[in-house]
Amino acid sequence: MDDRVFNFNPGPAVLPVSVLERARDELLNFKGLGMSVMEMSHRSKAFEAILDRTESLLREILSIPEEYAVLFLQGGASLQFAMVPMNLALDGRPVDVLDTGHWTRRAIAELEKIAPYRIAASTSEEGYRRLPRPDEIELHPDASYVYMASNNTIYGTQWRWFPDTGNVPLVADMSSDILSRRIDVARFGLIFAGAQKNLGPAGVTVVILRRDLAERADEKLPTMLQYRTHVARRSLYNTPPTFGIYFIGLVLEWVQSQGGLSAIERRNEEKARLLYEALDASEFYETPVAGEDRSLMNVVFRIRGGDEELERRFVSEAEAAGLVGLKGHRSVGGLRASLYNAQSVEAVCALVDFMRAFEEKYG
Ligand SMILES: *Cc1c(COP(=O)(O)O)cnc(C)c1O
């Protein structure tokens, strides 16, 4: 595999090589059926077995309680920004939103069109460099639900705790940190995640929701936009993203082969520690993110003083050295290394070595 680069892309992102190899090996002839998963009916026994296996692995790994449904949908996390309020917002009961960056702003833009909301906390005035503290969050017991993003992919912050919302369902966009650590699913009413960061290829969105919440929606909503449709038909109302679901199943088997979520979590902590320690030890690099809020998935950093010319050079020299995807999001600039589950410790060490050499040359 020595022609593979160290891939720090924010999403779609690096996938485990052993999973890619397995998908390759099974591509032309899946389990002796003489066709690929892409070519088989979504109503076939073979595909049903794949769907069942993927769902049960996800349930096992995340300890998803029985009263939650697991859905495999299309439309990305971005469709969930609309589907969540369309299904979960109740008359006269605004949504409480924790605004922590670009992706919660996107969700708010959809709320503008669909349902009343209140900003329960926001760190926008501080450039989203940190997360709200408990005493800054104003939740209301009459809210339809509380909305948050567990990891802010662009600003590099990640919640280490989740607010206690009492009887109000907590909804979380976990697109960029699902399966990166253990979570208590029962704390949430609904969790959604686009697959392309920690779960598999783009094109599938996983939704985990408490079944009773699917009954909130007006039956007049378009059929495809109601969670209850997909709950009732187990993601088979129409043709689901079959290859993506199969691929997520392979990634979940890989997670288990690594020792499960606690082993993955430990390795994620180790990778992030290596990189943040290197950043903190250097006068040349700096990270704008407050210590306790630093994301283990997306490490955002700059070259001292935000020297854009030097940052451009960093990105291009890193690429020449086989380290790709280190440019920060266009809305914030700077640099970012994404350390999703499939990122190796070896890749992080290679990045730290490169950073030291670059500092020696230009620092
Ligand atoms: C990547 C990302 C999205 C956007 O996902 P799409 O599948 O492209 O709609 C939304 N939220 C978060 C937190 C993300 O990281």
Least confident residue range of 67-71, 129-133, 146-150, 290-294: 290-294
CA distances to 3, 24, 57, 162, 303 from 175, in Å: 29, 26, 18, 16, 28
CATH architecture of 260-362: Alpha-Beta Complex (3.90)
Query: Contact 105/99 with Cβ under 8 angstroms?
Result: yes
250 Cα: distance to centroid of ligand 1 (angstroms): 22
**φ and ψ at residue 188, rounded to 5 degrees:** -115, 150
Identify the pLDDT of residue 1. 58
Mean pLDDT to the nearest integer, 349-359: 98
CA 140 to CA 127: how far, in whole Å? 25
CA 76 to CA 196: how far, in whole Å? 9
Question: Which position among 96, 99, 103, 271 bears the catalytic label?
Answer: 103
pLDDT at 93 over 90: yes
The region, left, alpha or beta by phi > 0 then psi within -120 to 50, assigned to residue 110 is alpha
205 Cα: distance to centroid of ligand 1 (angstroms): 10
Per domain, the residue ranges of the chain are 18-257, 260-362
CA distances to 15, 34, 37, 241 from 27, in Å: 17, 10, 7, 16
Is 159 designated active site? no
Q: What is the CATH number of domain 18-257?
A: 3.40.640.10
CA 26 to CA 35: how far, in whole Å? 9
Q: Which atom of ligand 1 is nearest to the CA of 76?
A: 7
Q: Give, using CA atoms, the residue closest to atom 10 of ligand 1.
A: 77
Cβ neighbors of 142 (< 8 A, separation 6 or more) are: 93
pLDDT band of 290, cuts 50, 70, 90: confident
Query: Contact 116/142 with Cβ under 8 angstroms?
Result: no
pLDDT at 327 over 70: yes
Which residues lie with the beta carbon below 6 Å from any ligand 1 atom? 11, 76-78, 103, 149, 153, 173, 175-176, 194
Q: Give, using CA atoms, the residue closest to atom 2 of ligand 1.
A: 175
Task: Give the mutation target among 79, 80, 150, 153 for probing the ligand 1 site: most ligand atoms within 8 A of CB.
Answer: 153
Model pLDDT for residues 62-73, shown as the tens digit of each residue: 999 999 999 999
Model pLDDT for residues 100-140, shown as the tens digit of each residue: 999 999 999 999 999 999 999 999 999 999 999 999 999 99
